[in-house]
Amino acid sequence: MRPVVVKIGGGALAGGALEDLPEVLETGRKVVLVHGGGPQLTRMLDSLGITTRFREGLRVTDARTLEVAEMVFGGSVNKALVRELGALGVPAVGISGTDGPTFLVEPVRDLGRVGEVARVEPRLIEALWAGGFVPVVATLGLGPEGAYNVNADAAAAALAVGLGAEHLFLLTDVDGLLKEGKAIPALTPEECEGYVADGLAAGGMVPKLRAAAEAARGGIEARIMNGNKKGAVAGAIAGERIGTLISEGVVAR
């Protein structure tokens, strides 16, 4: 059984879909969680009087912002998620992508300390799995000048490809890529960019669709779905039609 990568968005951090994990793990499936924490970081930066700027959905990250991002993503957000999983009976260990190192990144031009995953090194994740733990990965990566901030959707997709995962679940606070209030059931990777170009997907949905498309091109079934809905993860693994599925094999219907 190929592994499952679950990305949890800032708005869905305490969501009900995580309650499926004990059941999924019982089937022997290997699971790794990846999380963002943008809203939490913005709140902390505000309280420190540091202004936040975005370019095409990506945070411009100077050295100070990076320092705070590492505190928030690798610290408070990561540890809260690990505790939450512990309360569900899931033995979890929080790491950052710079541990191992797991994410090796290349700097993204003009965004400061923002990186793109160039290589995934799975040894630490595999060691945690071997010990019976679920890794919870904060999306920072190691690059030429130290730690870099990595978009969590993109990092989750790179990890899914690097691990040869079967599923990538992008859990968020909406039911999928919404059109007229309803989630589009299925898309090919080629169709994703069209929805970015025509403006249906905006803001945080843009990097999410692009990440899903990248994973789909790597042979993974990527789904954008609501992390607040209990049963979403277990249901999708069981083959239910939930959220928006992005995959190479999708037949238009």
* Positions that interact with Mg ion (CB under 5 A): 204
Of the pair 128, 156, the CB lying nearest ligand ADP is at 156
Q: How far is the CB of 6 from Mg ion (least distance, A)?
A: 14
Sequence-distant (6+) residues with CB within 8 A of 122 are 102, 162, 163
Among residues 164, 186, 170, the alpha carbon closest in space to that of 226 is found at: 170
**Is residue 243 a contact point for ligand ADP (CB under 6 A)?**
no
The entry of ligand ADP, Mg ion, none that residue 201 binds, CB within 5 to 8 Å by partner kind? ligand ADP
**Is residue 80 a contact point for ligand ADP (CB under 6 A)?**
no
**Is residue 12 a contact point for ligand ADP (CB under 6 A)?**
yes
Q: CA 194, CA 22: separation in Å to the nearest integer?
A: 37
In the three-class reduction of DSSP (H, G, I as helix; E, B as strand; rest coil), residue 230 is classed as coil
Q: How many residues does the chain have?
A: 253
Q: CA 83, CA 97: separation in Å to the nearest integer?
A: 19
Using CB atoms within 10 A of its CB, is residue 171 exposed (0-12), middle (13-18) or buried (19+)?
buried
Of the pair 121, 173, the CB lying nearest ligand ADP is at 173
Residue 35 pairs in a beta bridge with 8, 138
Near ligand ADP by CB under 6 A: residue from 3, 4, 9, 100: 9
- Catalytic positions, written as ranges: 7, 10, 38, 153, 208
The 10 Å Cβ neighbour count of residue 56 is 9
Of the pair 114, 205, the CB lying nearest ligand ADP is at 205
Task: Considering only residues 110 through 149, tell me which ones interact with ligand ADP, judged by CB under 6 A.
Answer: none
**Is residue 178 a contact point for ligand ADP (CB under 6 A)?**
yes
Near ligand ADP by CB under 6 A: residue from 117, 155, 201, 212: 201
Q: CA 9, CA 180: separation in Å to the nearest integer?
A: 23
Of the pair 32, 174, the CB lying nearest ligand ADP is at 174
Q: How far is the CB of 39 from ligand ADP (least distance, A)?
A: 7
The binding site for ligand ADP (CB under 6 A) comprises: 9-12, 36, 172-174, 177-178, 200-205, 208
